[in-house]
Amino acid sequence: MDVMPLLLLVAGSAAVAAAARRTPVPAPLLLVAAGLAVSYVPGVPEYTLDPDIVLPLVLPPLLYTSATDSSYLDLRAQLRPVALLSVGYVLFAAFVVGWAVYQIVPGLPLTAALVLGAVVAPPDAVAATAVARRVGLPSRVTTILQGESLVNDATAITAYRVALAAAVGEGATWAGGIGEFLLAAVGGIGFGLVLMVPIHWLRTHLKEALLQNTLSLLIPFVAYAAAEQVHASGVLAVVVVALYLGHRAWEVDFATRLQEEAVWRMVAFVLESAVFALIGLQLPVVLKGLGEYEGLLAAWYALALFLVVVASRFVWVYPATFLPRILSRRIREREQDPTWKGPFIIAWAGMRGVVSLAIAFSIPLTVHGGEPFPERNLILFLTFTTVIGTLVVQGVTLPPLIRFLRLPGRDPQAETLAEANAQAQASRAAERRLDELLADERNALPPPLADRLRAVLERRRNAVWERLGQVNPVTGETVDDTYRRLSREMIGAERRVFVKLRDGRYIDDEMLRTLLRRLDLEEAAAYREAA
């Protein structure tokens, strides 16, 4: 097996993603553009998006990282809009897009058109959350987009299976389709509920951080595969387990949390970079065999589908936002009146991504009778152009659109004040506990060490209050920046002395690693106090 193309894909996509951080262009868009450009370079191997790899091996970890970073409480508070988008909108878009394509493309069977509708129905989890984090959307809008992206893939995959069964001649019925949808949804949630408690128990009882993080890497794949074995939704199983583990992450050992955060950030970065680069690299594969639909005709179909996809989201989002308020007095009393701006951003943030392409490439070559699947290459092409179109048009315009609409973002002053109050309460509890412990003669400490424990608490409590508006008049640095810089300089001086002592053979490498590890933890603590 030639692994060089895979290594080049990972290395190249990581380099482009890193470069994107220095530009105003969103990383997903730059990765797609780079993939498109590289796909036409002579000698570049043909990369094929294998759905048997993408769906079970790439989608679960991306969903897992997104779900563990999400807030279960925030999602529960926004359950209605999240459900209306992740389930209602996806089914609505699958039908509307399918029907529109059936009317636009002559000779395309309705069942095949509905397959295409299900393929392009779900907005992409990675693209939506990446843009939301980058542009600083209001917390409610970000929560709704994140929640939608966690569940909509499950809805789309199930709708695709039902439409595909009808397209290939398996005699699917409406009742059978609804039954399969309910089985997938209920089964996926059920598997997640069954797995989450024993997995969390195992995580909290493993004593080594290395073992705990090995388990963490296996969790999304195990949850996905177990649910899919009985035709339940692996996506929902992963999301349920991840939300529970993220909600109770505080119960895991601190060393595990430090390692886990670093490991999953690396995994998510590599996978997100590679999958967006793969989208661009797919163009030569998609264009092969397009046949009679080449040229202006294919371009017209692509433009029409793009407009239908964008318009259908607006048609759904605004009624889904305002109709519940009109129909329910309880909602009007409990929630603030929304403006038109928030729904507009949610509607415009419907970029499609790698999941749509992975589902499209899983369309079989033939139907049950042995005939070719109707217009399979056209479906692949339209899926590709829809993904590219939404990433380019919506991905590029979303940040300036948010700035133009002047959506109220997070209030840093209010958040810092809430953090300071929380830290003050926690510090008082820690001081009471310290006094209780020091009152026991078994915990006797020399006064300097006891004072050091109290000084750490005092520093932690005061650090947050110091962030409220203090700036160095000479350098323009906040007290956080100055504290972090001075801490780094002091620790750097210690680190250089340790290395010099090792080079002079006063200490060995094992002792150097121990000392550097201690400094690394202190630097991380100083950074977190200031960050």
Higher pLDDT among residues 23 and 497, named by residue: 497
- One-character DSSP codes across 290-340: -GGG-THHHHHHHHHHHHHHHHHHHHHHHHHHHHHHHH-HHHHHHSPPP-S
pLDDT value at 531 more than 60? no
Say if residue 210 is in the same domain as residue 73. yes
- What are the CA-CA distances from residue 498 to residues 188, 487, 523 (Å)? 53, 17, 15
- Say which residue the tokens 């690693």 belong to: 513
Count of residues in the chain: 531
Domain of residue 434: give its range: 411-469
Looking up residue 376, the CATH number of its domain turns out to be 1.20.1530.20
pLDDT value at 525 more than 80? no
- Can you read off the two tokens belonging to residue 317? 């989002």
Based on the number of CB atoms within 10 Å of its own CB, is 222 exposed (0-12), middle (13-18) or buried (19 or more)? middle
- pLDDT-based confidence at 195, cuts 50/70/90? very high
Closest CA to 104 of 375, 387, 305, 380: 305
User: Across all residues in the chain, what is the average pLDDT?
Assistant: 82
Say if residue 278 is in the same domain as residue 425. no
Higher pLDDT among residues 500 and 138, named by residue: 500
Domain boundary among 426, 445, 469: 469
Say if residue 386 is in the same domain as residue 273. yes
- pLDDT-based confidence at 384, cuts 50/70/90? confident
Say if residue 196 is in the same domain as residue 337. yes
Domain boundary among 358, 379, 409: 409
Say if residue 363 is in the same domain as residue 488. no
pLDDT value at 206 more than 70? yes
Kindly report whether the global pTM for this prediction surpasses the value 0.85: no
Higher pLDDT among residues 156 and 292, named by residue: 156
Report the sign of the C-alpha dihedral through residues 107, 111, 112, 114, in that order. Answer: positive
Domain boundary among 384, 409, 434: 409
pLDDT value at 147 more than 90? no
Say if residue 125 is in the same domain as residue 212. yes
The count of structural domains within the chain is 3
pLDDT single digits (tens) 102-138: 999 888 899 999 999 999 999 875 666 666 666 666 7
Say if residues 367 and 168 touch (Cβ distance below 8 Å). yes
CB within 8 A of 85, min separation 6: which ones? 144, 147, 148, 152, 316, 317, 320, 346
Which residue type is seen at 187?
Answer: G
CB within 8 A of 310, min separation 6: which ones? 350, 390, 394
Range of weakest confidence among 303-307, 374-378, 427-431: 427-431
Integer Cα distance of 153 and 155 in angstroms: 5
Say if residue 213 is in the same domain as residue 358. yes
Say if residues 286 and 384 touch (Cβ distance below 8 Å). yes
Say if residues 389 and 306 touch (Cβ distance below 8 Å). yes
Average pLDDT over residues 159-175: 76
Say if residue 393 is in the same domain as residue 521. no
Say if residues 245 and 215 touch (Cβ distance below 8 Å). no
pLDDT at residue 131, rounded to an integer: 63
Closest CA to 116 of 126, 104, 127, 128: 104
pLDDT value at 524 more than 60? yes
Say if residues 276 and 49 touch (Cβ distance below 8 Å). no
pLDDT at residue 341, rounded to an integer: 86
Average pLDDT over residues 446-451: 80
pLDDT at residue 308, rounded to an integer: 96
pLDDT single digits (tens) 291-310: 666 678 888 999 999 999 99
Say if residue 402 is in the same domain as residue 488. no
Say if residue 158 is in the same domain as residue 121. yes
pLDDT at residue 219, rounded to an integer: 94
Neighbour tally for 314: CB within 10 Å:
15
Say if residue 345 is in the same domain as residue 200. yes
pLDDT at residue 530, rounded to an integer: 47
Higher pLDDT among residues 427 and 142, named by residue: 142
Neighbour tally for 49: CB within 10 Å:
21
pLDDT value at 312 more than 60? yes
Say if residue 91 is in the same domain as residue 150. yes
